[in-house]
Amino acid sequence: MDIRWPLSDGRVTIRPFCVGDAEALLEYRRLPECQEYTSHTVATIDEARALLSERVARPEVIMGALMIDGQVVGDIGGRRYRPETLGPDPHGWDFYLGYTVRPDRWGQGIASSAVALLTPALHHQAGIRRVVAKVFARNAASVRVLLKNGFQLEGTERAAVLGRDGTWLDDCTLAHLDPRLAVTD
């Protein structure tokens, strides 16, 4: 996708992952705190390599490494897809966004910075109309990160997904629209 890497605010830098980052990814993605609300989990170095190889090879996918002082502290990315249409060819793309930060760096504003960096680049460089995040209502930190960055809650599917702990989770959809997008009722 057409993003001019790296993106940086002077503290957090986002650059594309490469397969050589597999160990750094595994170090935090294998932790239970990072797996509670995600469906794609990695438990071994082979799985981490396979995940990165697969994502790096797909042009519609972004897998960005969050870097601070040369260390991988998390990831942000997702995949673009064509908007739904009732007939005409839709111009542009929509994008599913996701991110994870190493638990020992939680609460330092890293996810907030990453979303603040990537969202405008998706709209203005990669032609994304809607940046969409699916977040479980119980994941309050993630909902907060998105609301702080101008995403709006569009709806909540109640008791929609069975969680790892066996409870049913409410699934929220939040989205950020390209400010240039003309929306009609």
Ligand X SMILES: CC(C)(COP(=O)(O)OP(=O)(O)OC[C@H]1O[C@@H](n2cnc3c(N)ncnc32)[C@H](O)[C@@H]1OP(=O)(O)O)[C@@H](O)C(=O)NCCC(=O)NCCS
Q: Note the residues at the interface with ligand X (CB under 6 A).
A: 34, 37, 98-101, 106-112, 133, 135, 139-142, 144-145, 148
**Closer CB to ligand X, residue 7 or residue 101?**
101
Q: How many CB atoms lie within 10 A of CB 175?
A: 19
**Closer CB to ligand X, residue 37 or residue 95?**
37
**Closer CB to ligand X, residue 141 or residue 162?**
141
CB of 85 to ligand X, least distance (A): 27
**Closer CB to ligand X, residue 1 or residue 97?**
97
User: Residues near 73 by Cβ (< 8 Å), separated by ≥ 6?
Assistant: 12, 66, 67, 101, 102, 105, 110
**Closer CB to ligand X, residue 144 or residue 164?**
144
CB of 103 to ligand X, least distance (A): 7
User: DSSP labels for 19-33?
Assistant: GGGHHHHHHHHTSHH
CB of 91 to ligand X, least distance (A): 27
Q: Please give the structure tokens belonging to residue 40.
A: 């794609």
Task: Give the Cα separation of 136 and 157 in Å (integer).
Answer: 9
Total residue length of the chain? 185
CB of 52 to ligand X, least distance (A): 17
**Contact in structure between 160 and 130 (CB atoms under 8 Å):** no
* Helix-helix angle 110-124:140-148, to 10 degrees: 50
CB of 147 to ligand X, least distance (A): 9
